[in-house]
Structure 1
Amino acid sequence: MTLRIRSRLAREGFTLDVDCTLPMEGVTALFGRSGCGKTTLLRIIAGLERVAGAEVRFGDEVWQRDAAFVPLHRRRIGLVFQEPSLLPHMSVRGNMLYGYRRTPEAERRLHLPEVADMLGIAELLDRPVDRLSGGQRQRVSLGRALLTSPKLLLLDEPLSALDTQTKREIMPFLSRLADEAGVPMVMITHSPAEVERLADRVAFMREGRIERIESLREAMARPDSPLFDDEGAASVLEGEVAELAEDGLFAFGPPEARLWLGATSSVAVGVTTRVRVLARDVSLALDDPARVSMQNHLLVRIERTDTLRSGHALVSCRLADGQLLLAELTVRSVTRLCLQPGQSVFALIKSVALVD
């Protein structure tokens, strides 16, 4: 399944010029700075913006081409915006069922009990919406969109209006959504952390154009990735929670690439999750640093070294389980240790840098 978009829209001081095909599996992030055209593109996909000469196709369905134009309500799209526009006179249950009741019975694939459980709001169904937190309101918004049994979910910066703690609460629900609901998602964001936590692929936008479309792994493997512009280079590792320790830490990943992290409320044994490691929080050693306080040190193999614009070096290393780990070092350190591709070294990772 793919989403095909071709559109040119000229406005005063801005031109959107897009011609691309997006795979419709999992989560696709539209990433770029504010004003680059992400929301305009999303509105064209949804049918909220009708642009002359545009073409939008979802799989075999033609949503717009020449004189043909399918309106939003017939495209079977679920929309979630920055601010959850819930109906204040209804309970959580009433809001959730608002679109469900308007969906033909033969087209209903998702139902209230499973969606409420998926989003962790089963106990809130009878609560008035004015007594919900920001994260709860956004989850209800997601649930309402899912209960229309959409073919596609479009999320316009769904976390940008939330505080840091609320983002942490809702992030695990979003990351499970595409898999558990079986609905592809296109998500607008300008936050690298949200891309790294949620996306399967990234469409990089700049000044009205999509510059490239990459899998998350491809995007994270490039030393010049736009995802690194704010906080510097980072690695995203995916693995299973293997063990919860009595001291509050949990084991992440297979035995040959085992990391210990600080536990959070969303962690459970057997759950697959992602962790983010800033490259500047990774050091390299030629010898096994067994007698140090830092618990996370793994044997890795160097693949390449790139010089960054900052003058530092970015060393790309391969873990024993095949995943990529980046380390940002000074050029002097690389020279002093004679670091070369193919060389086996030990990576020391600060536990505080690992965030699920």
Structure 2
Amino acid sequence: MTTTIHARFRCAFPGFDLDVDLTLPSTGITALFGHSGCGKTTLLRCMAGLQNAPGTMTVLGEPWQTEEFFRPVHKRPLAYVFQETQLFPHLNVRKNLEFGYRRIPASERQIEFDDAVRWLGLESHLARMPAGLSGGERQRVAIARALLTSPRLLLMDEPLSALDRASKQDILPYLERLRDTLAIPIIYVSHSTPEVARLADHIVMMEDGRVVAQGPLQETLARTNNPFRLEDDAGVLLEGRIDHLDPRWHLALFQFDGGQLWLRQDDRLTPGDRVRVQVLARDISLALAEHSDQSIQNLVPAIIDQVDPDVAPGVSLVRLLAGPTPLLSRLTTRAVDQLALAPGKNVWMQIKSVALVD
């Protein structure tokens, strides 16, 4: 059986054209990422069948739409989580969850009621009414309700956009748990770099209704032709583990495949934790030799893999490899010329800031 999701849509809307051809993985979270108005939600609605647009849609080998056939949304085994929770206000949490669960024949249920409740941390909320829940709690109920329909595909349209920062921080660990637990593919629309950095395994970058880059998250962010490479939060993600904590200096040592970095200590961190960190291209300067007589603590040897000169007036982008791990450095073209930076050259990365993705 085909283990991918394929979506091909080409259609015109008033003032907007959508033209995409995607093959997505069947596990993990795929982020549809881009600025507001780039077509993310329109694409998601086409995939759901909410927008009857010309094209094709195949999920795990099962055709949902062809040139001759269109399966309506109510016959597609999917769940859609909107920005607004749309809970039934007259039903308590348990009855909201049971609404979809009871409509699925027992023989077809892939997710059990108690499992969804536990994954979303709702054990103590089942008797509560929606009006008494916080925004983050209501969204957790909406996600659990969606899961209890046993979908083959879960679509999420900026589910955290209506929440304040505290509520987002409350719900993100639950979304990480779903990513790591579920065998259901999740397609997640967002224009938030921190959300994508924390949650996604795969990314689709969109501009003006078209896909401009796609692939595994870390690999795609580390490309020098990434269309978002010059934005202030452009950089790479590193995955690794916390080696140990230094209580004297309130630091944590992060080990990744290619080196180690000091992070500011966080009360949530313990040795052995697997975490993601973000290193921005603007925060990496380069030197031809190791300079320990300076304030920057993270000095990592690397080899230059690629130099893209003048990606903007006077700005160059350098891709580096620390072992097998790619990183990006944004430098002035003058500095690249003065240091004679070129592929194959050994340098030292001076990393001014490293942020735990949270």
Same fold judged by TM-score > 0.5?
Answer: yes
CA distance in 1, matches of 2:151, 2:338: 57
How far did 1:291 drift? 4.0
Which letter does structure 2 place at the counterpart of 1:215? P
State the identity as a percent.
Answer: 45
Q: Counterparts of 1:284-303 in structure 2 under 5 Å?
A: 284-303=286-305
Instruction: Give the secondary structure class of the aligned counterpart of 2:23.
Output: strand
CA distance in 2, matches of 1:228, 1:173: 30
RMSD: 2.7
Which letter does structure 1 place at the counterpart of 2:316? A
CA contact (8 A) 1:135 1:167 kept: yes
CA contact (8 A) 2:79 2:149 kept: yes
CA contact (8 A) 2:238 2:256 kept: no
Where does structure 2 lack aligned partners over 5 or more consecutive residues?
none
TM-score normalised to structure 1 length = 0.87
Which letter does structure 2 place at the counterpart of 1:223? T
Q: Counterparts of 1:178-197 in structure 2 under 5 Å?
A: 178-197=179-198
Please name the residue that 1:16 is paired with: 18
Q: Counterparts of 1:73-84 in structure 2 under 5 Å?
A: 73-84=74-85
Q: Counterparts of 1:240-279 in structure 2 under 5 Å?
A: 240-246=241-247, 248-254=250-256, 257-264=259-266, 267-279=269-281
Which stretch has the larger CA shift, 179-188 or 235-244? 235-244
Which letter does structure 1 place at the counterpart of 2:149? T
Count of aligned pairs between the two proteins? 354
Which letter does structure 1 place at the counterpart of 2:277? V
Q: Counterparts of 1:144-223 in structure 2 under 5 Å?
A: 144-223=145-224
Which letter does structure 1 place at the counterpart of 2:43? L
Where does structure 1 lack aligned partners over 5 or more consecutive residues?
none
CA distance in 1, matches of 2:267, 2:114: 23
CA distance in 1, matches of 2:10, 2:279: 39
Instruction: Give the secondary structure class of the aligned counterpart of 1:122.
Output: coil
Question: What is the CA deviation profile of residues 156-215 of structure 1, one whole-angstrom value per residue up to 9, with x for unaligned ones?
Answer: 112222223433333333234223112111111223333333222222333333344333
Q: 1:228 to 1:293 in 2, by over 3 A?
A: same
Please name the residue that 1:59 is paired with: 60
Question: What is the CA deviation profile of residues 16-50 of structure 1, one whole-angstrom value per residue up to 9, with x for unaligned ones?
Answer: 23343333232222223323322222112112222
Which of residues 316, 319, 324 in structure 2 aligns to 1:316?
Answer: 319
Q: 1:254 to 1:66 in 2, by over 3 A?
A: closer
Instruction: Give the secondary structure class of the aligned counterpart of 1:345.
Output: strand
Which letter does structure 2 place at the counterpart of 1:46? A
Instruction: Give the secondary structure class of the aligned counterpart of 2:336.
Output: helix
How far did 1:245 drift? 4.2
Q: 1:85 to 1:270 in 2, by over 3 A?
A: farther
Please name the residue that 1:102 is paired with: 103
Q: 1:241 to 1:120 in 2, by over 3 A?
A: farther
TM-score normalised to structure 2 length = 0.87
- Structure showing the higher helix proportion among its residues: 1
CA distance in 2, matches of 1:255, 1:208: 36
Q: 1:283 to 1:123 in 2, by over 3 A?
A: farther
Q: 1:118 to 1:332 in 2, by over 3 A?
A: same
Consecutive aligned runs of 4 or more in structure 1 exceeding 6 Å deviation: none
